[in-house]
Amino acid sequence: MSTKLRGVRGATTVTKDDTQEILQATETLVSDMVQQNNIEVESIASVWMTMTQDLTATFPARCLRHMSGWTFVPVMCAQEVAVPGSLEKCIRVMIHYHTDRAQHEIRHVYQNKATSLRPDLSLT
């Protein structure tokens, strides 16, 4: 089977707008996404990260600087669309990577209060 470019989604929440909490939560999320999907960093094409408007203490992508092998992975951060009533203090991640897995085999990761975003995909 040939490899295809696939996306794996993930999301988590933090309790406050704090640099260390944002970085730790993001690193935990990304690590789980990589582990659950057997992703090799070299196969990653890009990573897209967003945070809700109530989080401004740091860029979530900063956590990747401390993770082995991530130096040359292109990463972009942005602010999430502000929809009234949406989940607060939320960090979302989309990893685009090359894999031979079918779409239905991709394991999306939702942690903390973000499990409410996609209970059908959340592994709890």
Q: Which of 6, 63, 97, 110 is catalytic?
A: 110
Q: Decide if 110 is catalytic.
A: yes
Which of the following is catalytic: 6, 63, 80, 90? Answer: 80
- Is 9 in the active site? yes
- The set of residues, in sequence order, having a beta carbon less than 8 Å from that of 4 and lying 6+ positions away, is 98, 99, 100
Q: Is 65 a catalytic residue?
A: yes
- Catalytic-residue membership of 77: yes
Say if strands 90-99 and 44-51 run parallel, antiparallel, or are unpaired: antiparallel
Among 25, 110, 93, 20, CA closest to 57: 20
- Which residue among 6, 9, 90, 97 is the active-site one? 9
* DSSP tag of 103: G
| Residues in CB range of 82: below 8 A, 6 or more apart | 52, 53
Catalytic residue among 40, 42, 88, 118: 118
Active-site choice (21, 27, 62, 77): 77
Question: By the 8 A CB rule, do 121 and 29 touch?
Answer: no
- Catalytically active residues, by annotation: 9, 65, 77, 80, 92, 110, 118
